[in-house]
Amino acid sequence: MVMSVKNKIIMTVSLVILLSLGFHQFMGYFYVLPLLETLEIDDGEKNLKRAVLAVNRDLDHLNMFCYDWAEWDDSYRFVTDCNEEFIESNLLENTFLHNRLALLFFVDKGGHVVWGRCYSGELEEFITIEEFPEDNWPPDHPLLQHRSNTSYLKGYLKSSEGPMMLVSRPIVPSNGVGEIHGTLVMGRLICDKCVEMMRERTQVDMELWSMDCDTLSEKACHAKAGLSDLHPSCFVRDADWIYGYSYFTDIYNQPAILIQTKAWRTVYKKCREGVMVDMVASIFTALVVVTLISYLLHRLVGSPLARFSDAISKIHSSGKMTQINVHFAHDEIGHLQQEFNQMIRRLHDDAEKRSLVEDALRLSKASLSAVLEAAPDGIMTLDDGGLIKSINPAASMMFDYKADYLLGRNILILTDPQQRTLLKEEIAKLRQDPASSVFSLGVEVSGLRRDGSHLLVHCKVGLVEGGAGDARFICIVRDVSGLKEIHERLMRTKHLASIGEMGASIAHEIRNPLAGISGAVQVLTDRCAENNPDYAVLKEISRLSGRIEGTVQQMLEYAKDWQPEPKLCEIVALINEKVVEYRHQAGVGEMVIRVEGRADIRALLDPVLIGQVMVNLMDNAVASCAGSRGELVWRVEKNLRDVCITLQDNGCGISKDVLEHILKPFFTTKVNGHGLGLAICQKIVERHNGTISIESEVGVGTRVIIILPKSKFLKA
């Protein structure tokens, strides 16, 4: 078969292009990509070194912090005398929180723990770590071996609470000269928060685990097996990531912590993609070159109209509206080609404009959706019949319903049944004339949660006109229960303050004349014989004067501006102290008084004022148990923020009508009572930024509940 010159030239050019492409791809895969892998390993080593330095830098910072405490004269004296002033001033819960400490121990030369605590920053409470006993340490413990004033030990440890940093320094005077009195040990858990701070500081994706962690990945386990003193680091790669591994030894010089860095193989992947794109582009270029050469060699292939028709057919089969350039002569076909290309450009412009409009519409919908999702108030849309068509998360959370459950249901299920008739009438007005309904200006309505509890909400409804006469209403609700409670509490406080000022004024006006009356009655009583009929009358006048004097004294106590002086107190110890004092003063006989709760629960409070409240509450409880074998139980509990103190008795109890007024000033059920004891207790507790409440059942007993802040005190 005879081959034409055109076909020979096309074959030769194609062969040259194929050889060029093969050599180009060979260089890319066997030289460029391996070189990039080497660069990735170098970058991974830098990241691993930076991560290791970050961990060691945290250990160095802890070492310097321990140095500041160890060479401090107050610490030097504290190891000797264990004074409470040093503990109250420095060894507080905030010391552990602010410095991210997990343990702090003062150990004397004999291995006895002078003071030591372990703390959990996540739980915000003191804990026990079995590796650090709170009584005595072995004398040969590695952390206690200091032969000079400047020696120190630092390192890592696998503890029961996780991997941690440890620093140990001798406790010496601030000038560095003198006898070593003991050892100061500080530790810091390597928690997720610490690792996250290191990530932000180094901008390296890193993880730390204990060497014996059960959750290590297969790559980490494989890398751990290959680490040793001769090979302190290793690297593992997969399709997307390059992992670097190293380890830290503990204070016993054993592998303790495994560190992993991770870097995205961006350069390698991009270059590999670039090689592929370059190959495709080269092939495409080769095809274009071959086609162009074919076209130049074969100037008389088909007619211009056939080429134009073939181009149109290709566009029809591909479905892509692209311009064509197959005929360059200035004739009718060239003019037709220009008009066709102009039409294609207009179609492309229209498509781009339509795409921009669609993008803007999607962005607008997304923005509106984001606003509704983030709105703090509840937002619902209703149809003309009051059925819920849409609801945002705030409204679902407010009424404790799932959004899917409420969709299609009437909004009246979220209101108090007693108000539904009135609300139906207002909704009917809203349909006829939106401006005539109370909802247009906003109204307070009693809402109903899923569990049946009530809440006070402010509701406002507006009309949203839709297309084709479709009218919808938008309902905005806000939970005002908290605001209502704050307002009522403020009004009650103002009212009680007015009563206190008035009581103080009246007390001052009564006291002087009363003193004169009492003095005169006493003189007359001294002059009168006991067998005189007037003697009993004078005694009764003296008794009643004393009662008035007691009432005046209570009024002055209530009017006093209580300003607590808070101290960090152990609640159970304070209650036990007041129980002993009360038993000694009141003579409660066989009355049983028990105190339950952990001894280490503490709070910031004024022990004198809170002690006065405790004595007053015990006095009322004992009075309610009169005539029966009484039992009083104090309980102390805590959560992350508050301390709850309760007093339970088994007395006669309080009826509901009396319980509603029990905390009001001058309200009393006692024959000789003043009605100010519980009011003063409430005032003292509120000055501590706390609350007091009373629960009772007739014939069963009464419980008084006091809630106080645990670690934060705000004066009123």
CATH of the domain at 685: 3.30.565.10
Q: Confidence class of residue 532 from pLDDT cuts 50, 70 and 90?
A: confident
Per-residue pLDDT of 156-182, as tens digits, reads: 888 888 888 999 999 999 888 888 889
Per-residue pLDDT of 619-674, as tens digits, reads: 888 888 875 578 889 999 988 788 999 999 888 888 887 777 677 766 566 655 55
The C-alpha atoms of residue 124 and residue 192 are separated, in whole angstroms, by: 16
Q: Give SS3 for 334.
A: helix
Residue 112 within a domain: yes
Token representation of residue 365? 């919908």
Residue 283 within a domain: no
The C-alpha atoms of residue 187 and residue 59 are separated, in whole angstroms, by: 9
Token representation of residue 59? 């250990």
pLDDT at 231: 79
Sequence-ordered alpha helix ranges (H) in 459-570: 481-527, 533-559
Domain count of the fold of the chain: 5
Q: Are residues 607 and 493 in the same domain?
A: no
Q: Which domain CATH number covers 383?
A: 3.30.450.20
Q: Are residues 468 and 442 in the same domain?
A: yes
Q: Confidence class of residue 716 from pLDDT cuts 50, 70 and 90?
A: very low
Mean pLDDT of 208-223: 80
Residue 348 within a domain: no
> Radius of gyration (Cα) for the chain, nearest Å?
43
Q: Are residues 117 and 184 in the same domain?
A: yes
Residue type, 547: R
The more confidently predicted of residues 117 and 28 is 117
22, 25, 84, 268, 276 from 31: Cα distances, Å: 14, 10, 72, 13, 15
Residue 364 within a domain: no
pLDDT at 103: 92
DSSP state of 157: E
Q: Are residues 236 and 140 in the same domain?
A: no
Backbone angles phi and psi of 689, in degrees to 5: 65, 35
Residue 47 within a domain: no
Sequence-ordered alpha helix ranges (H) in 596-710: 607-624, 656-659, 677-687
Q: Are residues 575 and 702 in the same domain?
A: yes
- Choose the most confident range, by mean pLDDT, from 279-283, 397-401, 499-503: 397-401
DSSP state of 148: S
Q: Confidence class of residue 112 from pLDDT cuts 50, 70 and 90?
A: very high
Please determine, for residue 105, whether its predicted confidence score (pLDDT) is greater than 90. yes
Sequence-ordered alpha helix ranges (H) in 214-320: 218-226, 266-297, 304-318
pLDDT at 300: 45
Mean pLDDT of 406-419: 80
Please determine, for residue 301, whether its predicted confidence score (pLDDT) is greater than 50. no
Q: Are residues 631 and 649 in the same domain?
A: yes
CA angle 448/450/455 to nearest 5° reads 30
102: exposed, middle or buried (C-beta count within 10 Å: 0-12, 13-18, 19+)?
buried
Q: Are residues 160 and 178 in the same domain?
A: yes
The C-alpha atoms of residue 196 and residue 205 are separated, in whole angstroms, by: 9
Mean pLDDT of 76-92: 90
Using an 8 Å Cβ cutoff, are 248 and 230 in contact? no
Which of the listed residues 537, 559, 581 is the one where a domain comes to its end? 559
Q: Are residues 491 and 471 in the same domain?
A: no
Backbone angles phi and psi of 120, in degrees to 5: -105, 115
Q: Which residues contact 193 (CB under 8 A, 6 or more apart)?
A: 100, 121
Q: Confidence class of residue 714 from pLDDT cuts 50, 70 and 90?
A: very low
Please determine, for residue 258, whether its predicted confidence score (pLDDT) is greater than 70. yes
User: CA dihedral in degrees (487, 491, 497, 499; nearest 10)?
Assistant: -160
pLDDT at 658: 76
Q: Give SS3 for 119.
A: strand
Residue 368 within a domain: no
Considering only CA atoms, which of 641, 573, 647, 591 is closest in space to residue 615? 647
- Residues of the chain with pLDDT > 90: what percent? 11
Q: Average model confidence (pLDDT) for the chain?
A: 78
Residue 435 within a domain: yes
The C-alpha atoms of residue 306 and residue 300 are separated, in whole angstroms, by: 12
411: exposed, middle or buried (C-beta count within 10 Å: 0-12, 13-18, 19+)?
buried
- Choose the most confident range, by mean pLDDT, from 80-94, 213-227, 434-448: 80-94
Q: Are residues 380 and 427 in the same domain?
A: yes
Mean pLDDT of 69-80: 91
User: CA dihedral in degrees (121, 124, 130, 136; nearest 10)?
Assistant: 110
Strands 103-108 and 182-189: antiparallel
What is the side-by-side strand order in the sheet with 443-448?
388-391, 378-382, 471-479, 454-465, 443-448
pLDDT at 575: 92
Backbone angles phi and psi of 711, in degrees to 5: -135, 20
pLDDT at 1: 52
pLDDT at 332: 65
pLDDT at 6: 54
Which of the listed residues 524, 559, 594 is the one where a domain comes to its end? 559
Using an 8 Å Cβ cutoff, are 478 and 458 in contact? yes
Q: Are residues 60 and 187 in the same domain?
A: yes
- Residues of the chain with pLDDT > 70: what percent? 76
Q: Are residues 471 and 490 in the same domain?
A: no
Residue 361 within a domain: no
- Choose the most confident range, by mean pLDDT, from 77-81, 389-393, 565-569: 77-81
What residue numbers bound the domain in which 660 lies?
Answer: 567-709
Q: Give SS3 for 188.
A: strand
The more confidently predicted of residues 164 and 515 is 164
Strands 388-391 and 471-479: unpaired
Which of the listed residues 559, 579, 610 is the one where a domain comes to its end? 559
Token representation of residue 687? 């000055």
DSSP state of 31: I
Please determine, for residue 715, whether its predicted confidence score (pLDDT) is greater than 50. no
Tally Cβ neighbours within 10 Å of residue 67: 16
The C-alpha atoms of residue 544 and residue 541 are separated, in whole angstroms, by: 5
What count of residues does the chain have? Answer: 716
Give helix then strand counts, H and E, for the chain: 19, 22
Token representation of residue 593? 């008084």
Mean pLDDT of 562-587: 83
pLDDT at 673: 54
Q: Are residues 398 and 510 in the same domain?
A: no
Mean pLDDT of 335-359: 79
